[in-house]
Amino acid sequence: MDTQFNDITLHPIGVVRSITKQPFLIADETGIKMRDDIAPTIDEVRKTEKTISDVVLNRDLAEHLEGIEEYSHIKIIYWAHDVPRKARDIKKVHPMGNPEYPLVGLFSTCSPARPNPILTTVVRLVGKEGTTLHVTGLDAIDGSPVLDIKPHVGEFYPAEGVKIPDWMEKIQSTVMQRKTND
């Protein structure tokens, strides 16, 4: 079934300013791979939990931010601008670029190589100055265009009965082990 929406135009509302200059996962026409081994990559991702990044919004959006400080966490929706055009045609990947995980359809993963490389992440809101939001936990690289911001309200999302594949449980277990070892 073809969609009736042939052209959708998105306009960035701001930009990410971060010390993260390279993506953790590298996407190209052959698939995805981790920039480093799993342990250093997880350590780099965990640094974002403590490092303050800025989400700098267009000045004309100041009123849109009214009341945002009342939330502890917000969702940042951004464009993975470093994903090459050819990588957007990938249909299947090994999660996290690890061939030990099964080859699965792209929409079964959090891979940045997507037909529309729109990514989301939940971050802790540390503060606001004008139209700049100071956040921790942002995995977007410096210069990523911001498409939208939403408050994160955990109770709006299911917590019970959530099912995930075995390989995703292994990824989560690896991340949790790294956290426990610190």
pLDDT of residue 64: 97
Is 21 part of any domain?
yes
Is 120 strand, coil or helix? strand
CATH code for the domain of 86: 2.40.30.70
How many domains does the chain divide into? 1
Domain residues for the domain of 48 are 14-152
**pLDDT score for 122:** 94
Instruction: State pLDDT tens for residues 66-100.
Output: 999 999 999 999 999 988 888 888 999 988 888 88
pLDDT tens-place string over residues 158-171: 778 888 888 888 87
Q: What is the pLDDT of residues 91-129, one digit of tens each?
A: 999 888 888 899 999 999 988 889 999 999 999 999 999
DSSP state string for 7-56? -------EEEE-S--S-SEEEETTEEEESS-HHHHHHHHHHTTTSEEEEE
